[in-house]
Amino acid sequence: MSEHVVSKKTYYLIFGALMVLTAVTVWVANLDLGRWNAIVALSIAVLKATLVVLYFMHVRYSSKLTWVFVCAGIIWLFILFAFTLSDYLTRGWVPIAAE
């Protein structure tokens, strides 16, 4: 497997998409959508990050083992968030007898 050279055109397209998404996230943030503001902002950020990882960081053209490494990082990040939030955000749901 030899190295894949990503074309300049691909880089320019991804760059354009990133700039458009930045403009969209600024525009949406100025509307008051309640809790949807955060959801839209994070969705756009995740989309932008995915484009950077896949194309600028060449993961789309990398080996399966590289994919495993990248996914492992994201999975551990989710474990960090999920376990911590499942504690903090559920405190007070169940009354504690000792109090």
Partner 1 sequence: MAESHSTTYGLAHHFDDIEQQREAGTLGMWAFLITEILFFGGMFLAYILYRAKFGDAFAAASAHLDWRLGGANTAVLIISSLTMALAVYYAQVGDRKKLMLFLVLTMILGATFLGVKAYEYYHKYLDHLIPGFGFQWSGHGAPKQVEMFYFIYFAMTGIHALHMIVGLGIMTVILIMAKRGRFTPGYHSPVEISGLYWHFVDIVWIFLFPLLYLLGAHLHQ
Footprint of partner 1 (CB under 8 A) = 1-3, 5-6, 8, 11-12, 15, 18-19, 22, 25-26, 29-33, 37-38, 41-42, 44-45, 48-49, 52-53, 55-58, 62-63, 65-66, 69-70, 72-74, 76-77, 80-81, 84-85, 88-89
- Give the whole-angstrom CA distance, residue 54 versus residue 93: 41
Closest approach, Cβ 97 to partner 1, in A, equals: 25
Closest approach, Cβ 13 to partner 1, in A, equals: 11
Of the candidates 50, 54, 44, the one whose C-alpha atom is nearest the C-alpha of residue 21 is 44
- Give the whole-angstrom CA distance, residue 37 versus residue 58: 31
Closer residue to partner 1, CB minimum distance, 68 or 96: 68
Closest approach, Cβ 21 to partner 1, in A, equals: 9
What Å distances lie between residue 44 and 2, 23, 37, 65, 89, CA to CA? 33, 10, 11, 27, 24
Closest approach, Cβ 73 to partner 1, in A, equals: 4
- Give the whole-angstrom CA distance, residue 77 versus residue 82: 9
